[in-house]
Homo-oligomer: A and B are copies of this chain.
């Protein structure tokens, strides 16, 4: 009888994170409660507090996992090819797909829950900023000649990320941009960024 109910769960930490991701997909951040999580893991309401300092800490770990995925996506991009526009378009497509296919994770990563209301853990801040740094490095590859006037690498990285990010937010929450428009608007955004790169 190995599956008799044991007093100790075994690996509650990992189980909670796993269930949290699932609950996130099913009911969104608002539906994610520690009590539901505990029940799903077959454990009492306060058991999670032996593995996470509080709800905020659990959400931070969840967000860190997601950032690692995003970081991998960014690092795997190759914008050094000859056809710059095509490469950038492909990257944008992947970014949008990442955000729209797991909207709840994206919301958790960039949403106010952690960054404004709660307090993001140091590790989360580190991972998040590393992602941005890698993105900035990738965008830096795009510069092949002298920079046009009024264009600074860091500023362009920030502004172009804002474009991508804003697009994702509008898409996810369904404001002004529908899912059918996704491809068209993303192409327009790429045009925006490309135009800033070309001397004119």
Interface residues of A (CB under 8 A from B): 28, 30, 107, 110-112, 115-117, 128-129, 132, 148, 150-152, 155-156, 158-167, 169-170, 172-177, 181, 184-185, 187-189, 191-193, 195-196, 198, 200
B115, A151: Cβ atoms closer than 8 Å? no
B175, A128: Cβ atoms closer than 8 Å? yes
Given A162-B167, A163-B163, 15 additional A-B pairs, CB 8 A: A28-B116, A28-B117, A128-B175, A151-B191, A156-B188, A158-B176, A159-B163, A162-B170, A162-B189, A164-B166, A166-B166, A166-B169, A192-B196, A195-B195, A195-B198
A132, B176: Cβ atoms closer than 8 Å? yes
Interface majority SS on A: helix, strand, loop or mixed? helix
**Min CB distance, A140 to chain B, in Å?**
14
- Copies of this protein in the complex: 2
- Chain B contacts of A112 at CB under 8 A? 107, 111, 173
In the complex, residue of chain B having the shortest beta-carbon distance to the beta carbon of A172? B116
- Chain B contacts of A195 at CB under 8 A? 148, 192, 195-196, 198, 200
A110, B163: Cβ atoms closer than 8 Å? no
A192 interface neighbour in B132, B152, B163, Cβ under 8 Å: B163
B191, A196: Cβ atoms closer than 8 Å? yes
- Chain B contacts of A152 at CB under 8 A? 184, 188
A192, B159: Cβ atoms closer than 8 Å? yes
B161, A170: Cβ atoms closer than 8 Å? yes
- Chain B contacts of A174 at CB under 8 A? 115-116
B159, A162: Cβ atoms closer than 8 Å? no
A162, B166: Cβ atoms closer than 8 Å? yes
How far, in angstroms, from A184 to B169 measured CA to CA in the complex? Answer: 23
